[in-house]
Amino acid sequence: MNIHYIEYSIETNSLDIFFAGCNNRCKDCYNANLMDFENGTYYKEWLPKISHYLQNFRPLINRIFLVGGSPNHQDEGEMEDFLSTLKQDYPSIPIYAFCGEEIENVNNTLKAYCDKIKTGAYTPSLRTDSNIQDGIKLATSNQRVLYKGIDY
């Protein structure tokens, strides 16, 4: 499981973790360069840098976004290792997974560890600027933010 890069988003006060690899191949994909699973660097090499950001910039970081590529298409064992580390070290920071599938097709590891999951494929014909959920501007009208314990 590779991470391509991380960044802080001032718009959402989130630490965004971009995974390499996606099987969906959505038309007009926003992150087409992240489709290849070989891009990026092995996730364990990123853990010290992620910890540095979460420790030193905690007042600015209100949530962690798993984006990509797709967090749903990663090795489940490695994703569980990664997420269990984050949850153990930073239990008060909610984790969001951005998935292009409906909730029934999201893997159980993400459902177990993520507080919220964005579902729905990117569909260019459904593009909108008005789908804002949980303070997040979603790209298309078919996408939703689901809540653990309520929606899954």
The predicted-structure confidence for 26-85, as pLDDT tens digits, reads as follows 667 667 666 777 899 999 999 999 999 999 999 999 999 999 889 999 999 999 999 999
Determine whether 121 is exposed, middle or buried from the number of CB atoms within 10 Å of its CB (0-12, 13-18, 19+): middle
The pLDDT, as a whole number, for residue 38 is: 84
User: What's the sign of the alpha-carbon dihedral 139, 120, 29, 60?
Assistant: positive
Taking only Cα atoms into account, the Rg of the chain, rounded to an integer number of angstroms, comes to 14
Which residue has better confidence, 21 or 116?
116
- Sign, CA dihedral 112-117-123-124, equals negative
- In the three-class reduction of DSSP (H, G, I as helix; E, B as strand; rest coil), residue 50 is classed as helix
- Which of 144, 120, 122, 124 is CA-nearest to residue 132? 144
Cα angle: 140, vertex 21, 90; to 5 degrees: 80
pLDDT of residue 3: 96
**Residue 14 and residue 8: Cα distance in Å, rounded?**
6
Q: How far is Cα 102 from Cα 120, in angstroms, rounded to an integer? A: 5
End-to-end CA distance of the chain: 25
| Strand, coil or helix: 9 | strand
